[in-house]
Structure 1
Amino acid sequence: FYMGINIGAFVCNIIAAYMRNKYGWGEAFVTAGVGMFLGLIIFSIGKKHVVHANVMKPVQEGDTTISSILVKVFLPAIIAGAIGWVIPGNIFGSDSTDAFIFACIPVILFYIFIYISANAEDKKPIGALLAIFAVSMMFWAVFKQNGTALTRWANYYTDRSVPAALEKPLESIYLVDTKDYNTKEVAVHDNQFQTVKGEDGKPKKEQGKDIYFKNISKEQRAELEANPDKKVYLYNTELFQSINPFWVIALTPVVVGFFMMLRRKDKEPSTPTKIVLGLFLSALSCLVMVAAVYAGDNGASKVSPLWLFAAYGIITIGELCLSPMGLSLVSKLSPPRITALMMGGFFLSTSIGNKLSGILASMWYSYEDKANFFWVNFALLLIATLLGVAILKPLNKAMKEKGVK
C-alpha cells in the first residue's frame, strides 16, 4: 500500500517536468487533472476486489447516528468555520486558514467527547490514540514543507546544474530547464529571493539576469560572462519532489528487514516506540538543513543537492517509522465499532498538520537567517519527540492490554 503510493509520487513529478518543459504550465496542470480522473476510473473498476471489506459493524447501544454527527459535529464546524472567515483581521495568516482552524475545533471536541464518554475498557486505547494524533500532527507540520520551504530551497539555494554528460540525453526527453546569461527583463527580487511588487500589486521589472544566477559561484559567473549565450542546463525544481518517494521505495525493504532482524532476536521495539523514533529522526533532518544554510552562507552561494538528498533520506526513515505505523496502531488499538472513526481522527491530524505546515512555511520570509527557520522546525519535532517519550509507557501498556505489539 505505502510503496504503491510512493511509486506514483515518484513518477508523477517526472511527468510534470516533461509536460511543463515540452508544452507549458497549463498543459502540466491539465495532466494532473487527467491523472486524478484516471485514478477514479481505476478505483471504480477495481472496487469489486475490496467490496468484501466494506462490512457494516452491528449497531450497539450508545452508538452515534449519522444524523447526530451531522447536528453535533458538521453543523457546529460549518458555523465555526464561518465565524473564522468573517472575524476582523487574521489570526493564522489568512481568512481561509482561520476558517479551517475554527472549523476543526468542534471536530476535535467531538473526539474528546468520545474519550470522555467511553467505557473503562475503551478509554485507555482511545486516549492513547488521541495522544498519537497530537504528536503526529506536529510531524506532518514539518514533513509537508517538502512542497513549500524545501521547494523554495531547491529552486533558489540549490545548485541545479546538470552534469555535461546528461545534458543532451535529458534535453531529448524534456527533463531539463534551460537558461542563458543574457540580460533581459526580469522580475525584481530581494535578498531572500522574494519577488518585489509595486504599488499596483504587480511584480516590479528590471533589466538583469535570471534570478537563478544571483548566487552562483564566482567561477560559474566568470564562465558565463565570457559566453552569455551558452545554454545552461538545470534540473527542474519539481524533480526534487521525487527524492522523498525515491527514498521510500529504496529504504522500505531496508527498514522492514531491520525490524524483522530485531524480531527474530526478540528485540523488536513496540509500535509506539517506532513512532517516537520516527519523530526523533525527523527532527535530525532539520539539523541537516541548518548545516546546509551554513554551508551556503545563508544563500550567498548555492549548495549541493546532496544536502536535500540527505535531509529527505533521514526524514523518510522517520516517516517509515511513523506514518504506516500510525495507521497500524489505529487498527490495532481502536475499539472495533469505531475503528473507521478513529482512522478518520488520524487523517484529521494529518490534515491539521498540513495546514500548520502552510502556516509555518508562510513564515519563511520572516527569518532572514534561514537557519533559524529550520531551528524552529527542529524544536517542534523535538517537543513532539519528548511528548512521545512521556506517553510511551502508557501507550505500551495499552498495547499490551489489547494483546498487540
Structure 2
Amino acid sequence: MFEGQPKGLYALALANTGERFGYYTMLAIFTLYLQAKFGFSEQTTGAFYSSFLMMAYLTPLFGGMAADKWGYGKMVTIGIFIMFFGYVLMAVPFAANMLGIIAMSIALFFIACGTGLFKGNLQVMVGNLYENARYSGKRDGGFSIFYMAINIGALFAPTAATLVTNWIMTKGGFTYNSAIPQLAHQYLDSPTGMTAGATSQLHTLMIGQGINSYDPSVIASFCHRYIDSLSLSYNLGFSIACFSLILSFAIYYLFRNSFKNADYNSKTAAAAGVQEEELSKEETHQRVVALFLVFAVVIFFWMSFHQNGLTLTFFARDYTQQTVSGSERFAFDVTNLVSAILMVYGAFGIFQNRTVRGKLISAALIVLPLVYIIYNMGTTDSKISVLPQIFQQFNPSFVVALTPVSLAIFGYMASKKNEPSAPRKIAYGMLVAAIAYCLMTFASIGLPSPDALKAGASFSRVSPNWLISTYLVLTFGELLLSPMGISFVSKVAPPKLKGTMMGLWFVATAVGNMMVQITGWLWGSLPLWSVWIVLIVVCLLSFFVMMALMKRLERVC
C-alpha cells in the first residue's frame, strides 16, 4: 500500500491532515452552534450550513485559476493565512444579535476563500507527483492514501469538539442536554406561547441541572446562562482550527523540499524539467466533456453525503439514544476506534510483510491494541453520555480503516485484469449511497415528524447503531467515489487546465452542498422517513445516468 510512493505525498498529506482536523472540528458543531446561539430554525440553519459548504467548494475554481497563472505553492500559502483569520473571528464570542451574525458571516467567507486557495491546489500538486513515469502506476493508491490522511484529521475532530463542550459546560455548572437549547429559546422568545408539554419538559430538564423553580425570572436566568455557556464552548471549539492550521503550515514549510518538484503549472513545467502531454483540440474537447459529465452526476452524491452535518446530526440529537452502555460504549471512545484501526493494519501487515521482523511488528499491532480495548472497556463507566457531534467520527474512522481493504480488493482485481474503471467506481458509489439511506428509512418508521416532536410528542429514541451503520455504508460509497474522482480528474484534465478542472470538481461538490438544504426544508411536518426517500431517489437516478454514459467516460481513461 505504502511501497513505492513519492516522499512528497506524505508531506502534502500531513499538511492537509492538520487543516482538515480544524475544518471538521468546526463542521462537527457548526449547525449545533447556529441553533444554540441564535435559535435558528432547521430551515435557516440548513441555509447557512449549505451556503457555507457551497462557498467552501466553489472557491477552489477561482483558486485553481489563480494557481494556473501564479503557481500552486503560492496560493496554498496565502490560503492558510486567510483561513486562519476566519477561524480566529469564529472563535470570538460575539453577542447573539445582528452584529454577531454579520461577524460570523464574514468569518465564514474568509474560511471559504482560504479553503478555495488551499484545498484544490494542494491536490493538484499531489497529482503532479505522479507525472513522473516512475510513479504513474501508483496514482490511485496515492490518492487513496492522501484521502485517508484527510480523514485521520477528521477522525479526532468530533472528540476534540466534545471535550471542549463538556469542559466549558462543567465549568458553568451544567451538563449537556440536546433538548434544552431549543426549549430555552422558545421560553425566552415567548414564555406564554409555549405548549404545556414543552413547559413541563423544560422544568423537568432544569431539575436535571439542579434547578427546581417555577419562578419566571429563575427560568429566564437559567435559559440565558445555559445558552451562553453552550455557545462559548462552541466558540472555543472553533479556536482548535487556529492551532491545527499552525501545525499544517509548519509541516508544509519544513518538508516542502520533498514536493518542490510538484509545484509547477503549465507555464513553469518546462523550467521544472517536466514534459507535459500534448493534446489535440479534439482530445482536449473529449476530456473536458467527460469531466463535465462526471461533475454533473456527482453533485447528487455530495447532496446526500453532506447530510452528516445537517439532518443526520438532527437525527442524532433528536431521535437517537443519548446514553449507551455495555458493548455499545466501544464505538464512542476514539481511542478504541484507533486501536481497532491499528488491528486492521496489523492484519494486513502479517500477510504483506516478507520478513519475520515485519510479521512480528504486525502481530504486535493486533495484540497490543486488543489488550488496550479490553482494559479500556473494563475501566470506563458502565453508561456514558453521547453528544450528537460525536457521530461524525464514524465516517472518517471507517475511511481510515477501510482504505487498505479497498486498495487490496482493487489491487487483486487489477492483477486479474478486471478492476473497474474510475467512472464505474463512481457509479457504484452512487448506488451504495442509496443503500445507506434505505437504513435511515427503516430507522425512521414510526418516529414522529420534527414538528410533532417540538409539540411534545412522546416516542422511544432509537439505537445509535442505525446511524453508525448508515455512516459505514456511506463510507463504502465515499471510497468508491471521492478519491477515485479526484484521481480521475488529475489524470484526465488537460495539462493547461489542471487547476481549473480540479476547481470544477469542487464546484460540483459546491452545488451538491447547496442542495443539502433541500432536506432542511423538508425537515418539518412531513413523515421523517420521506426525507430519506428523496435522497435514495436522487442517488439511484445518478447511478443509472452514470451507467448510461459509461462507454463515453471510459474512452478517455
TM range (shorter): 0.5 to 0.7
Q: Which SS does the other structure have where 1:301 is aligned?
A: coil
Aligned to 1:158: 320
Aligned to 1:274: 425
Structure 2: runs of 5 or more not aligned: 1-145, 170-229, 270-279, 336-382, 454-458
Aligned to 2:292: 130
Deviations along 1:191-214, one digit per CA (max 9) or x if unpaired, are: xxxxxxxxxxxxxxxxxxxxxxxx
Deviations along 1:324-360, one digit per CA (max 9) or x if unpaired, are: 0110000111111111110000011111211111233
The answer to whether 1:5 aligns with 2:156 is no
Q: Evaluate the alpha carbon distance shift between residue 45 and residue 252 of structure 1 in structure 2; reply closer, same or farther with a 3 A threshold.
A: closer
Between the aligned partners of 1:388 and 1:166, the Cα distance in structure 2 is 38
Q: Evaluate the alpha carbon distance shift between residue 258 and residue 128 of structure 1 in structure 2; reply closer, same or farther with a 3 A threshold.
A: same
Deviation at residue 59 of structure 1 after TM alignment? 8.5
Between the aligned partners of 1:166 and 1:321, the Cα distance in structure 2 is 28
The answer to whether 1:17 aligns with 2:226 is no
Q: Which amino acid aligns with 1:304?
A: S
Q: In the alignment, which of 518, 531, 539 is matched to residue 373 of structure 1? A: 531
User: Contact 2:304–2:516 (CA<8 Å) still a contact in 1?
Assistant: yes
The answer to whether 1:53 aligns with 2:262 is yes
Between the aligned partners of 1:372 and 1:136, the Cα distance in structure 2 is 22
User: Contact 1:295–1:303 (CA<8 Å) still a contact in 2?
Assistant: no
The answer to whether 1:149 aligns with 2:149 is no
Percentage of matched positions with identical amino acids: 32
Q: Evaluate the alpha carbon distance shift between residue 376 and residue 335 of structure 1 in structure 2; reply closer, same or farther with a 3 A threshold.
A: same
The answer to whether 1:39 aligns with 2:245 is yes
The answer to whether 1:284 aligns with 2:435 is yes
Which residues of 2 match residues 86-235 of structure 1 at below 5 A? 119-163=281-325, 233-235=384-386
Q: Normalising by structure 2, what TM-score?
A: 0.47
The answer to whether 1:339 aligns with 2:498 is yes
User: Contact 1:290–1:375 (CA<8 Å) still a contact in 2?
Assistant: yes
Q: Which amino acid aligns with 1:256?
A: L
User: Contact 1:125–1:334 (CA<8 Å) still a contact in 2?
Assistant: yes
Aligned to 1:179: none
Q: Evaluate the alpha carbon distance shift between residue 396 and residue 146 of structure 1 in structure 2; reply closer, same or farther with a 3 A threshold.
A: same
Q: Which SS does the other structure have where 1:254 is aligned?
A: helix
Q: Normalising by structure 1, what TM-score?
A: 0.64
User: Contact 1:145–1:361 (CA<8 Å) still a contact in 2?
Assistant: no
Between the aligned partners of 1:36 and 1:43, the Cα distance in structure 2 is 11
Structure 1: runs of 5 or more not aligned: 61-117, 174-231, 400-405
- More helix as a share of residues: 2
Between the aligned partners of 1:158 and 1:269, the Cα distance in structure 2 is 37
Q: Between 8-17 and 31-40, report the one with greater CA deviation.
A: 31-40
Root-mean-square deviation (CA), in Å? 2.7
Between the aligned partners of 2:412 and 2:483, the Cα distance in structure 1 is 19
Deviations along 1:217-266, one digit per CA (max 9) or x if unpaired, are: xxxxxxxxxxxxxxx85211111111111111121111111111111111
How many corresponding residue pairs? 281
Between the aligned partners of 2:553 and 2:301, the Cα distance in structure 1 is 18
Between the aligned partners of 1:349 and 1:42, the Cα distance in structure 2 is 26
Which residues of 2 match residues 310-321 of structure 1 at below 5 A? 310-321=469-480
Aligned to 2:392: 241
Aligned to 1:309: 468
Between the aligned partners of 1:6 and 1:371, the Cα distance in structure 2 is 29
Deviations along 1:49-95, one digit per CA (max 9) or x if unpaired, are: 434322131389xxxxxxxxxxxxxxxxxxxxxxxxxxxxxxxxxxx
User: Contact 2:447–2:528 (CA<8 Å) still a contact in 1?
Assistant: no
Q: Evaluate the alpha carbon distance shift between residue 285 and residue 27 of structure 1 in structure 2; reply closer, same or farther with a 3 A threshold.
A: same
Aligned to 2:83: none
Q: Which SS does the other structure have where 1:23 is aligned?
A: helix
